[in-house]
């Protein structure tokens, strides 16, 4: 059963992109374990506002694990210690009375801190703009059932497509590589007949953009998939490598 | 044509039903019988629908008080229903490619509506400036839609058609939507599915490789396309990929973490004011910036967060709508809000939002409460669990009351039925505000694996929040605010009553009447953005090709910016004692108690008084920390709350004026003896459009009569 607990929250505070950051520790009493992690941060912020202090800035929106906005490093793990969930789906029942919880922003060269726990993940959008699409315009497309797609293939594409673009993969990676994110999109589209036509060119364009934006190289440590809230599989990286080789071969 | 036959057939059924109903109650209430007769009369008239058409203009002319919007004002094209859209497209003005390059369009929002519009307009050759609050266009609230999207493909060969989708939508909306718009929506629904598949949206498929469908409330066919429980995500990522392609090409300039704070109006040579740009705040730097465009399109989503607790995302807001409203765009049917029956019940005061459990769960889940009050008491005390109650002591109240649709009745009906049981004391959790959604039958019938495959991610979500395993014990659910059918009034071209200002997606009022059917919001958002607006806006822009790009140094821009700055300064200067959220929570409670599921004249009047008091409290006692000219979340929330307070009041005013029950708007004074909604078609068959008349002055009511030319109006019946 959920109880009330007293905790300490050790939060990264950083006034702006160029400012020097530091940890600040706050005490929170009587927090219900049924509250979500972000609701706990809300309670902390209410407390800070009441004391006329600056509340902790952090990204969040849907609060149900789908928008990919929330992005906290909790006790050394992106999205916290629980598996296959986002920070907003984490609940206080995962923490014990008296515990000190450390909260940091994503730390990755390609994701500069904007303020406190909020980072700039614009680099992921740029990678998508480089090739994460099928080149079709609105209108003039064939009937949706014109090309049957085997269910296992459609299901595999769906699994790859479930990536929420949160950035935990790059944040978890010691090299700061975005391979899991990029490979998920490349895989989804390469699996489907609609996206297959451009598969090799897409892989090349997206990887080139990723390198250009300062993401590191993939050395197959697997940290990304272990921390990914949507359990996006490492098999996607293998598929990306195949598409990428294919593209090189064509050159 | 099947069309006519169906109407005739339906007309006969209604006549019989009306007569039966009359017999039923004649003994008890005389005037009820008279109403039933009215219904029967209406049903007969439906045989000659055309004869009713001229009444459209004649009727309102008799009433002097309220101004009236005619079908001509609403730009509804001539001709039979199924040819209107074709006729429109055949005759509308277009813009040639060279001129498109010279025209700028601002699109506010990157949800399904905004992203699809921005991408499509850019593909056509317009220059697009696209804005969103989130750090990426992919994170708009549409991403959270779970269940699916409707289309009239009839892939299942179960008798679906464009007409049937049209008819279900009109009926589901309780006959409070515009016929021509809804028909067009049904017509383009099939193009949407084609488009999404071409983009690589991984819809669910059958073993043969063709697309799979599921059923949603308010329909007797399976027409809902889905991608696991993440349909909104996949559709939005499709639109986002199309948008990304255009951003990459430089045809769309994307502004993330920007919030529009006002629309800039500039008069043309005839003195007519037109939307020519926006004022937006850069949420990272706090800077106020100016942007020009030849036209402004707003796809800013719904205003459900007026209630504080809703299924909407945290940044969903009604401020863009209020900005349009203050510039003279009518706010239509603000009181039509949808309360979704299957959400996870509230668990504490610190709660920040409510989580939806997709309607698709009602395909296989059965809703019940105990038959015996003593069992309910034990559940409320936590002494027993749902699974301890034997089958014969369970009341599957939806199946009992609505045998024909059972657990798949429309949302408003399901929500009210849950409230009715809980009000009578049969609620099943510690607050007494929950009912069961039970999968034990489905698990027995299909096996746990199949259930897990269909709903696994929803079950996981439930378990993470509630800490209980829904495979073993029935889920607990309760209604919550979910969607707003009301919104900014638009004509057939999706243009507001302000020239050059367009409104798409949930932000407009157009297609769902008084109640939206499940899986139809995604359909409408994408219909507006991919297939309607990119056409209709050209009819406007064709006349603007001679208008040069204007400088944002014009006095109109400077004044608009100044007004925004002053409002911010005023808020920052209050330095009171209350946090923004604490006031918003208070507003939410008032909305739920007085403007919620069961409304009364008395309650609404009381609610308005309380909202006025909240407004005063907000403007004298709110505390916003930090600086205005830097990143400041509390200021963002305060600006939104200022508008939620106004919307809340407008909802109450509209609800008070609408003396009938229809769809999501339930006035307790107007119900049948069985507790079903009772429309007053003779008095309220119109769109209630509110016109802004100034700060703290009552808005003016303008009516757009809804004369059903092609469809016969009936009492919604989901029983048989
Ligand atoms: C949990 C949930 C599940 C749902 N499931 C379904 C379903 O299964 N099927 C279905 O048909 N419908 C469903 N709906 C409804 C549907 O998702 C929404 O109605 C629809 O997605 C709204 O799309 P939109 O494009 O109009 O607005 P939104 O997706 O809300 O997008 C609004 C956009 O406007 C931007 N914005 C707002 N204000 C400003 C401003 N002032 N300045 C700049 N930008 C601004 C936001 O940043 C955002 O980009 C669901 C809704 C919820 C809450
Ligand atoms: S792959 Fe996983 S961790 Fe990486 S962005 Fe996608 S969802 Fe997040
Ligand atoms: S807030 Fe949307 S995923 Fe966490």
Q: What is the pLDDT of residues B444-485, one digit of tens each?
A: 999 999 999 888 888 988 998 999 999 999 999 999 999 999
> Is A41 an 8 Å CB contact of chain B?
no
What is the band of B218 on the pLDDT scale with cuts at 50, 70, 90? confident
d(CA B377, CA B379) in angstroms, rounded, equals: 5
What is the band of B115 on the pLDDT scale with cuts at 50, 70, 90? very high
What is the band of B62 on the pLDDT scale with cuts at 50, 70, 90? very low
Residue A236 has pLDDT above 70, yes or no: yes
Q: What mean pLDDT comes out for the span B563-580?
A: 98
Nearest to B221 by CA among B164, B181, B303: B164
Lowest average pLDDT, out of A125-139, B33-47, B112-126, B138-152, goes to: B33-47
Give which of B153, B197, B203, B234 to mutate to test A binding, by max A Cβ within 10 Å. B197
> Is A97 an 8 Å CB contact of chain B?
no
| Interval A49-102: pLDDT, tens | 999 999 999 999 999 999 999 999 999 999 999 999 999 999 999 999 999 999
Q: What mean pLDDT comes out for the span B387-415?
A: 93
Residue B510 or residue B113, greater confidence:
B113
Cβ atoms of residues B104 and B292 within 8 Å:
yes
d(CA A4, CA A200) in angstroms, rounded, equals: 54
What is the band of B23 on the pLDDT scale with cuts at 50, 70, 90? very low
| Interval B464-474: pLDDT, tens | 899 999 999 99
Reported ipTM: the value is 0.98
Residues 98-127 of B with CB under 8 A from A: 116, 119-120, 123
Q: What mean pLDDT comes out for the span A231-242?
A: 95
d(CA B371, CA B350) in angstroms, rounded, equals: 33
In DSSP terms, A115 is beta-bridged to A118
Q: What mean pLDDT comes out for the span B552-556?
A: 98
| Interval B609-662: pLDDT, tens | 999 999 999 999 999 999 999 999 999 999 999 999 999 999 999 999 999 999
What is the CATH topology of the domain spanning B555-685?
A: Methane Monooxygenase Hydroxylase; Chain G, domain 1 (1.20.58)
Cβ atoms of residues A36 and A88 within 8 Å:
yes
> Is A229 an 8 Å CB contact of chain B?
no
d(CA B587, CA B595) in angstroms, rounded, equals: 11
Residue B560 has pLDDT above 80, yes or no: yes
Q: Nearest 10 degrees: CA dihedral of B442, B448, B449, B450?
A: 0
Nearest to A161 by CA among A141, A191, A205, A140: A191
SS (H, E, C) B94-139: CCCHHHHCCCEEEEECCCHHHHHHHHHHHHHCCEEEEECCCCCHHH
Residue B52 has pLDDT above 70, yes or no: no
User: Which part of chain B has CATH 3.90.700.10?
Assistant: 341-481
Q: What mean pLDDT comes out for the span B96-122?
A: 97
> What is the architecture, at CATH level 2, of domain A4-114?
Roll (3.10)
B520: CB partners within 8 A, 6+ apart: B150, B169, B172, B511, B512
Instruction: Answer positive or negative: Cα dihedral of A206, A211, A214, A219.
Output: positive
Residue B70 has pLDDT above 60, yes or no: yes
* Predicted local confidence at residue B211, as pLDDT: 98
d(CA B551, CA B396) in angstroms, rounded, equals: 64
Cβ atoms of residues A32 and A91 within 8 Å:
no
Average pLDDT, chain B: 91
> Is B629 an 8 Å CB contact of chain A?
no
| Interval A13-41: pLDDT, tens | 999 999 999 999 999 999 999 999 999 99
Using a CB-CB cut-off of 8 Å, the residues of chain A touching B143 are 62, 66-68
Nearest to B259 by CA among B285, B292, B233, B294: B285
Q: Give, rounded to a whole angstrom, the gap between the first and last alpha carbons of chain A.
A: 61
Average pLDDT, chain A: 96
Task: Return the DSSP state at B369.
Answer: E
d(CA A105, CA A128) in angstroms, rounded, equals: 23
Of A35, A63, A145, the CB nearest to B348: A35
d(CA A31, CA A94) in angstroms, rounded, equals: 12
Question: At the top level of CATH, which class does the domain A122-250 belong to?
Answer: mainly alpha
The percentage of chain A sitting over the pLDDT mark of 70, rounded to a whole number, equals: 100
Q: What mean pLDDT comes out for the span B282-287?
A: 98
A4-114 and A122-250, same CATH topology: no
B5: CB partners within 8 A, 6+ apart: none
Cβ atoms of residues B176 and B708 within 8 Å:
no
Answer yes or no: pTM beyond 0.90: yes
* Residue B31: how many other CB atoms lie within 10 Å: 8
DSSP per-residue string spanning B283-347: TTT--EEEEE-SEEEE-----GGGGSSSSS-TT--SHHHHHHHHTT--EE-TT-EEEEEEEPPP-
**Burial level of B57, CB count in 10 A (0-12/13-18/19+)?**
middle
d(CA B111, CA B468) in angstroms, rounded, equals: 33
Of the residues B139, B411, B667, B679, which is catalytic? B411
Cβ atoms of residues B369 and B179 within 8 Å:
no
A220 CA: distance to closest CA in chain B (Å): 27
Q: What mean pLDDT comes out for the span B345-354?
A: 90
* Predicted local confidence at residue B60, as pLDDT: 41
Q: What mean pLDDT comes out for the span B253-277?
A: 97
Check A46 against B581: CB less than 8 A apart: yes
**Burial level of A208, CB count in 10 A (0-12/13-18/19+)?**
middle
Lowest average pLDDT, out of A35-49, B11-25, B516-530, goes to: B11-25
Residue B50 has pLDDT above 70, yes or no: no
Within chain A, residue ranges assigned H as helices are 37-50, 122-131, 151-161, 168-172, 179-191, 193-196, 199-212, 223-227, 235-250
d(CA B587, CA B603) in angstroms, rounded, equals: 15
Instruction: Answer positive or negative: Cα dihedral of B505, B693, B513, B217.
Output: positive
d(CA B248, CA A84) in angstroms, rounded, equals: 32
B409 Rama class: left (phi>0) / alpha (psi -120 to 50) / beta: beta
* Predicted local confidence at residue B45, as pLDDT: 42
A213 CA: distance to closest CA in chain B (Å): 15
Residue B352 has pLDDT above 70, yes or no: yes
What is the band of B434 on the pLDDT scale with cuts at 50, 70, 90? very high
What is the band of B46 on the pLDDT scale with cuts at 50, 70, 90? very low
Q: How far is CA B302 from the centre of its chain?
A: 6
Give which of B248, B256, B634 to mutate to test A binding, by max A Cβ within 10 Å. B248
Check B193 against A144: CB less than 8 A apart: yes
What is the band of B147 on the pLDDT scale with cuts at 50, 70, 90? confident
In DSSP terms, B255 is beta-bridged to B131
* Predicted local confidence at residue B43, as pLDDT: 41
Element (H, E) at B636: helix B633-657
* Predicted local confidence at residue B42, as pLDDT: 44
The percentage of chain B sitting over the pLDDT mark of 90, rounded to a whole number, equals: 83
* Predicted local confidence at residue B219, as pLDDT: 86
Return contacts of A45-51, CB within 8 angstroms, 24+ apart: A46/B579, A46/B581, A46/B582, A48/B625, A49/B579, A49/B623, A49/B625, A49/B634, A50/B579
At B147 the three-state DSSP class reads coil
User: Which part of chain B has CATH 1.20.58.100?
Assistant: 555-685
Return contacts of B680-683, CB within 8 angstroms, 24+ apart: B681/B42, B681/B175, B681/B713, B682/B38, B683/B659
* Predicted local confidence at residue A150, as pLDDT: 97
Residue B40 has pLDDT above 90, yes or no: no
d(CA A212, CA A191) in angstroms, rounded, equals: 26
Residue A173 has pLDDT above 70, yes or no: yes
Q: What mean pLDDT comes out for the span B83-108?
A: 97
**Burial level of B408, CB count in 10 A (0-12/13-18/19+)?**
buried
* Predicted local confidence at residue A185, as pLDDT: 98
Atom of ligand 2 nearest to the CA of A184: 1
What is the band of B5 on the pLDDT scale with cuts at 50, 70, 90? low
Q: How far is CA B370 from the centre of its chain?
A: 33
**Ligand 2 site, CB within 6 A:** A 163-169, 180-181, 184, 228-230, 232
Spans of all domains in chain A: 4-114, 122-250
> Is A157 an 8 Å CB contact of chain B?
yes
Q: Does domain B341-481 have CATH number 3.90.700.10?
A: yes
Element (H, E) at B690: strand B686-691
């Amino acid at each position: 059963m959920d109880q009330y607990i007293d905790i300490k929250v050790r939060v990264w505070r950083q006034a702006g992109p160029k400012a020097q950051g530091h940890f600040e520790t706050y005490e929170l009493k009587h927090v219900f374990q049924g509250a979500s992690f972000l609701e706990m941060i809300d309670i902390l912020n209410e407390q800070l506002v009441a004391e006329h202090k600056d509340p902790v800035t952090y990204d969040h929106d849907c609060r149900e694990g789908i928008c990919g906005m929330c992005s906290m490093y909790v006790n050394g793990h992106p999205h916290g210690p629980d598996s296959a969930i986002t920070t907003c789906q984490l609940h206080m029942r995962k923490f014990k009375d008296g515990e000190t919880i450390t909260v940091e922003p994503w730390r990755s060269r390609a994701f500069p801190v904007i303020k406190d726990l909020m980072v700039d993940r614009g680099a992921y959008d740029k990678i998508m703009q480089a090739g994460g699409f099928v080149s079709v315009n609105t209108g003039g497309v064939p009937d949706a059932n014109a090309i049957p797609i085997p269910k296992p293939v459609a299901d595999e594409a769906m699994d790859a497509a479930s990536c929420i673009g949160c950035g935990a993969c790059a944040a978890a990676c010691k090299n700061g590589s975005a391979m899991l994110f990029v490979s998920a999109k490349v895989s989804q589209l390469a699996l489907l007949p609609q996206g297959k036509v451009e598969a090799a060119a897409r892989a090349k364009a997206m990887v080139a953009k990723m390198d250009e934006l300062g993401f590191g190289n993939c050395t197959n440590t697997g940290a990304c998939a272990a921390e990914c809230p949507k359990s996006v599989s490492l098999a996607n990286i293998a598929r990306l490598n195949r598409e990428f080789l294919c593209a090189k071969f064509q050159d | 044509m099947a069309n006519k036959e169906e109407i005739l057939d339906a007309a006969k059924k209604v006549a019989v039903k009306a007569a039966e109903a009359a017999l039923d109650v004649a003994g008890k209430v005389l005037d009820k019988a008279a109403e039933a007769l009215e219904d029967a009369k209406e049903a007969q008239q439906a045989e000659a629908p055309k004869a009713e058409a001229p009444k459209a203009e004649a009727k309102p002319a008799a009433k002097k008080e309220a101004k009236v919007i005619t079908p001509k004002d609403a730009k509804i094209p001539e001709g039979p229903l199924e040819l209107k859209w074709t006729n429109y497209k055949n005759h509308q003005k277009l813009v040639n490619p060279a001129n498109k390059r010279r025209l700028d369009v601002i699109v506010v929002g990157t949800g399904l509506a905004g992203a699809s519009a921005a991408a499509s307009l850019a593909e056509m050759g317009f220059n697009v400036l696209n804005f969103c609050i989130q750090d990426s266009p992919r994170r708009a609230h549409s991403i959270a839609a779970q269940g699916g999207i409707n289309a009239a493909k009839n892939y299942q060969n179960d008798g679906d058609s464009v007409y049937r989708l049209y008819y279900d939508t009109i009926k589901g909306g309780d006959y409070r939507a515009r016929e021509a718009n809804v028909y067009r929506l049904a017509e383009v629904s099939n193009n949407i599915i084609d488009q999404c598949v071409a983009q690589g949206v991984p819809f669910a498929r059958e073993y043969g490789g063709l697309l799979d469908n599921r059923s949603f409330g308010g329909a007797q066919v399976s027409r809902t396309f889905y991608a696991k429980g993440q349909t909104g995500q996949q559709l939005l990522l499709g639109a986002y990929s199309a948008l990304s392609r255009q951003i990459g090409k430089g045809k769309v300039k994307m502004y993330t973490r920007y919030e529009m704070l006002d629309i800039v109006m500039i008069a043309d040579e005839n003195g007519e004011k037109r939307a020519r740009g926006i004022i937006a705040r850069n949420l990272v730097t706090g800077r106020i910036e100016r942007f020009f465009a030849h036209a402004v399109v707003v796809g800013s989503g719904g205003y459900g967060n007026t209630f504080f607790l809703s299924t909407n995302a945290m940044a969903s807001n009604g401020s863009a709508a209020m900005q349009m409203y203050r510039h003279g765009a009518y706010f239509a049917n603000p009181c039509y809000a949808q309360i979704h029956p299957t959400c996870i019940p509230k668990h504490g005061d610190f709660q920040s939002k409510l989580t939806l459990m997709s309607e698709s769960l009602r395909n296989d889940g059965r809703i019940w409460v105990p038959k015996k009050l003593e069992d309910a008491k034990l559940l409320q005390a936590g002494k027993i669990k749902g699974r301890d109650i034997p089958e014969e002591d369970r009341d599957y109240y939806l199946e009992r009351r609505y045998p024909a649709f059972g657990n798949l009745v429309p949302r408003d009906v399901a929500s009210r039925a849950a409230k009715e049981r809980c009000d009578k004391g049969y609620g099943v959790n510690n607050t007494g505000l929950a009912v069961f959604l039970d999968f034990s039958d489905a698990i027995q019938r299909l096996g746990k694996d199949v259930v897990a495959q269909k709903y696994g991610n929803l079950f996981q979500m439930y378990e993470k929040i509630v800490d209980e395993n829904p495979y073993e014990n029935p889920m607990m659910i309760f209604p919550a605010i979910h969607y707003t059918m009301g919104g900014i009034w638009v004509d057939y071209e999706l243009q507001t009553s302000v020239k050059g200002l367009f409104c798409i997606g949930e932000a407009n009022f157009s297609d769902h009447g008084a109640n939206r059917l499940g899986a139809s919001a995604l359909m409408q958002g994408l219909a507006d953005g991919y297939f309607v607006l990119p056409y209709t806006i050209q009819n406007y822009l064709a006349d603007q090709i001679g208008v040069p790009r204007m400088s944002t140094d014009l006095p109109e821009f400077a004044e608009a910016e100044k007004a925004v700055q002053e409002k911010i300064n005023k808020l920052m200067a209050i330095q009171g004692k209350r946090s923004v959220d604490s006031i918003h929570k208070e507003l939410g409670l008032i909305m739920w108690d007085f403007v919620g599921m069961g409304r009364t004249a008395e309650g609404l009047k009381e609610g308005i008084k309380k909202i006025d008091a909240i407004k005063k409290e907000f403007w004298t006692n709110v505390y916003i920390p930090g600086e205005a000219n830097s990143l400041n979340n509390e200021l963002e929330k305060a600006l939104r709350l200022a508008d939620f307070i106004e919307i809340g009041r407008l909802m109450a005013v509209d609800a008070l004026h609408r003396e009938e029950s229809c769809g999501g708007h339930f006035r307790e004074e107007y119900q049948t003896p069985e507790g079903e909604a009772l429309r007053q078609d003779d008095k309220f068959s119109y769109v209630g459009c509110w016109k802004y008349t100034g700060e703290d002055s009552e808005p003016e009511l303008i009516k757009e009569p809804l004369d059903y030319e092609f469809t016969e109006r009936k009492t919604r019946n989901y029983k048989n």
